[in-house]
């Protein structure tokens, strides 16, 4: 699908050195947009940009707007706040880990919006596409910093949407479950349990984003079943928490099994050699 408004649009994608961001950058380029590719990993950003003849704005997603605006010839039409970190653990995760999750998953969006809004409100148009996660609507087993900060990202995108939509500024929250990227491969037993079975490709997420923009839909759900889980969580929180606790217990069993596995494997190997 080619969305008319995207042809010639100036689009920034953060965290586009790989995964969902790279797929978004490629897809926006295919729609005829002029794209600026950002990533903390400068080589990865350059590699994506080279594929699609895009501008490169390497570095931290926080504060990328001025450089991206210059690279795109003075204006930005669509900003994809996609860079994210998949910080796991619970309250015991150290302060730095919580701080990083907060900084990348939430504050980089806030800082970008702060830099974008004056221009967008003055001209009465602009589009903020936030790669949140189904964890922002629901939760992610074994990953409190990720879940909490993704809820924050969702809240911020919602706030942008309801505050500025009558002034021409649109926001979208993209909330996939598992997507086959480098991040998914770091999620361990929790990811194996809840994400891997229904994981989709980054290109599927990019397709959903283009469709969501064409339909002017705030909530973009590349896994449509998430709408039902979200409704169930709101309607029957006790039941939903009980169901999620069942998953937590399965996760704990998987962790215990994984801890036993190396000893078994070593035993099997010893047996094999004997």
Ligand X SMILES: NC(=O)c1ccc[n+]([C@@H]2O[C@H](COP(=O)([O-])OP(=O)(O)OC[C@H]3O[C@@H](n4cnc5c(N)ncnc54)[C@H](O)[C@@H]3O)[C@@H](O)[C@H]2O)c1
Residues that bind ligand X (CB under 6 A): 14-15, 17-21, 38-41, 44, 60-61, 82-86, 104, 131, 133, 176, 178-179, 181-184, 195
In the complex, least distance from residue 185 CB atom to ligand X, rounded to whole angstroms: 9
In the complex, least distance from residue 227 CB atom to ligand X, rounded to whole angstroms: 15
Edge-to-edge strands, sheet with 55-56: 55-56, 34-37, 10-13, 78-81, 126-131, 169-174, 219-220
Other beta carbons less than 10 A from residue 213's beta carbon: 22
- Angle at 72 (CA atoms; ends 118, 119), nearest 5 degrees: 10
Comparison of 98 and 125: residue with beta carbon closer to ligand X: 98
In the complex, least distance from residue 7 CB atom to ligand X, rounded to whole angstroms: 25
**Both tokens assigned to 59:** 């570095």
Burial zone of 273 (CB within 10 Å; 0-12 exposed, 13-18 middle, 19+ buried):
exposed
Our measurement of the distance from residue 266's CA atom to the centroid of its chain's CA atoms, rounded to an integer in Å, reads 38
In the complex, least distance from residue 19 CB atom to ligand X, rounded to whole angstroms: 2
Comparison of 85 and 113: residue with beta carbon closer to ligand X: 85
Comparison of 134 and 169: residue with beta carbon closer to ligand X: 134
* β-bridge partners, 107: none
Comparison of 44 and 72: residue with beta carbon closer to ligand X: 44
Comparison of 15 and 126: residue with beta carbon closer to ligand X: 15
Comparison of 125 and 254: residue with beta carbon closer to ligand X: 254
In the complex, least distance from residue 150 CB atom to ligand X, rounded to whole angstroms: 7
In the complex, least distance from residue 189 CB atom to ligand X, rounded to whole angstroms: 15
Percent of the chain that is helix, strand, coil (3-state, to 5): 60, 10, 30
Distance CA 234, CA 76 (A): 36
Q: Are 71 and 118 in contact (CB under 8 A)?
A: no
């Amino acid at each position: 699908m080619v969305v008319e408004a995207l042809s010639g649009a100036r689009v920034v994608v953060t965290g586009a050195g790989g995964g969902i961001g790279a797929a978004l950058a490629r897809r926006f380029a295919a729609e005829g947009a002029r794209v600026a590719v950002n990533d903390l990993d400068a080589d990865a950003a350059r590699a994506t940009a080279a594929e699609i003849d895009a501008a490169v704005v390497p570095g931290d997603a926080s504060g990328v707007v001025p450089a991206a605006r210059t690279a795109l010839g003075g204006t930005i039409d669509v900003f994809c706040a996609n860079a994210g970190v998949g910080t796991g653990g619970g309250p015991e995760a150290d302060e730095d880990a919580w701080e990083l999750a907060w900084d990348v998953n939430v504050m980089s969006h806030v800082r970008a919006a702060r830099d974008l809004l004056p221009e967008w409100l003055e001209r009465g148009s602009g589009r903020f596409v936030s790669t949140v996660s189904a964890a922002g609507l629901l939760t992610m087993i074994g990953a409190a910093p990720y879940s909490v900060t993704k809820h924050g990202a969702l809240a911020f995108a919602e706030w942008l949407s309801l505050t500025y939509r009558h002034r021409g500024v649109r926001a979208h929250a993209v909330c996939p479950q598992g997507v086959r990227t480098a991040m998914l491969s770091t999620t361990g037993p929790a990811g194996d349990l809840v994400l891997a079975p229904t994981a989709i490709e980054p290109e599927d997420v990019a397709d959903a984003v283009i469709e969501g923009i064409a339909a002017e839909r705030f909530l973009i759900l590349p896994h449509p079943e998430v709408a039902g889980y979200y409704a169930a969580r709101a309607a029957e929180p006790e039941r939903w928490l009980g169901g999620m606790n069942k998953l937590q217990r399965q996760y704990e069993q998987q962790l215990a099994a994984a801890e036993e596995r190396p000893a078994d494997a070593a035993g099997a190997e010893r047996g094999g050699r004997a």
